[in-house]
Structure 1
Amino acid sequence: MSPRPTHCPPKAIGYVRVSTTEQADSGAGLAAQRAAIQAEADRRGWTLEFIEDAGISGARLDRPGLQAALARLDAGGADILCVAKLDRISRSVHQGSGLIDRAQRKGWSLVALDFGLDMSTPAGEMVSNVLLSTAQYERRLIGQRTKDALAAKKAAGVRLGRPQQLPDTVVQRILAERSLGHSLPVIAAALEADGIATARGGARWYPSSVKAVLDSQRANDLRS
């Protein structure tokens, strides 16, 4: 991405979102979010445009407004993604850390006004690194809990050869990483590196294993 001339003010995208249940909550409403972001843009001299997802849950990242914003940022069409509250983007540590990693790789900044997260400043960069470390720690805990649960079942004489259902946390991690554009081999390698067992209790993840989880979740979504 080519550096922007120094005389040009940074271009920011203000992302706002409410779910259906939050529509009547003035603290989380679209107008309140816009006002907070606009005030920050005025204070810092950003040029600003808004992108919104109205009536959409924050559980997953495949929201049309957010995906459009991320595509613009990745392509160099904007420098900053600003939100009034971090949970407007993601309610998951894994998803949030994935966005921070994506911003670092693609060269744009994430700013969350309620969280003190501002990747364009040294202090904000420190906060982002803390979030990434927390996410890594959480992934390792998931892997250890899975191992402990399998060991307990084996000790109790439970046969583990039959397919087991993956924990929801592992499924959500796979969905989040895929929505961030990570390839099947990359996701498989990360799961294996973190010691997370497959649905059959194995230690080795393959791209086909990840695809099977995604296909199963897609089928569940169609049935629901």
Structure 2
Amino acid sequence: MRVVGYVRVSTEEQADSRAGLDAQRAAIAAEAQRRGWTLVDVIEDAGYSAKDLRRPGIRVALEAMASGHADVLIVAKLDRLSRSLVDFAGLMATAQRQGWACLALDTPADPTTPMGEAMVSIMATFAQLERRLIGQRTRDGLAAKRAAGVRLGRRSELPVTVVSRIVRERAEGRSLRAIAEHLNADSVATGQGGKRWYASSVRAALSAAERNGASTPVQTV
């Protein structure tokens, strides 16, 4: 059996440390050796979420499987592959149609059998449920903070002189884009310390100025 391994971590911190990636690689290599399989490649996505399959690494892996480069796509854990039941079901259907198998080491199911395929699909359902529960808890927590009057988001640290300049230029009839270009030309930092202004960031500064009592109306162009 020729196998392609796929590894993934979901945050830039994990991607930088490589601890998660290396652990997954080791587990895949050990399983391939135990079964007498030939591990032809290990493809990674460092710093990508599993909410969908829009990841460069998994695309390369799936192209390798479709081209007959290997017989089995192996992952250390099912949620390294996908947390979306729709994506996972579609991937399983693709594997069946193209004649290759997908194996996750955290499930004892053999996806090449009808019973094993059913078991893997059930596990994928719970992986998606976990993702949705996390999202729901996050939304509930944010709603509770808003209800308590907590201001969410990063706080802008724009100097009063910069805010006054933006309000003044807008009152003179300049477009949001023109104001952004002027700020960039003068190397004015954004409220978050960034080096480049855009029409959207100028609009945000104007909106904040309005909330703080400025009288200049915010327009969209």
For normalisation by structure 1, the TM-score amounts to 0.50
Following the alignment from structure 1 to structure 2, what is the Cα–Cα distance between the partners of residues 14 and 70? 11
Name the SS for the 1:82 alignment partner: strand
Kept in 1: contact 2:9–2:15 (CA 8 A): no
Q: Is the 8 A contact 1:22 1:28 kept in 2?
A: no
Equivalent residues, number: 127
Runs of 4+ in 1 over 6 A off after TM superposition: 24-28
The equivalent residue for 2:154 is none
Q: Percent identity?
A: 56
1:46-125 alignment, distance < 5 Å: 46-48=37-39, 49-121=41-113, 123-125=115-117
For 1:30, the equivalent position in structure 2 comes to 21
Q: Which amino acid in structure 1 is aligned with residue 107 of structure 2?
A: F
The CA distance in 1 between the partners of 2:118 and 2:18, in whole Å, is 28
Q: CA deviation at 1:105?
A: 1.0
The counterpart of 1:11, out of the listed 2, 26, 31, is: 2
Structure 1 residue runs without a partner (length 5+): 1-9, 139-222
Shift of 1:117: 3.7
Q: Which residue of 2 aligns with 1:41?
A: 32
Gaps of 5+ in 2: 130-199, 201-221
Q: Deviations over 1:11-66 (max 9, x none)?
A: 10110011225608999700111111111100111111200011112122021111
Q: Give the Å deviation of 1:109.
A: 0.3
Is the CA contact (8 Å cut-off) linking 1:58 and 1:88 kept in structure 2? yes
- Deviation track 1:119-151 (CA, whole Å, cap 9, x = no partner) reads 23565234246569x69xx9xxxxxxxxxxxxx
**Structural RMSD (CA):** 3.0
**TM-score between the two structures when normalised by the length of structure 2:** 0.50
Question: Greater Rg, structure 1 or structure 2?
Answer: 2
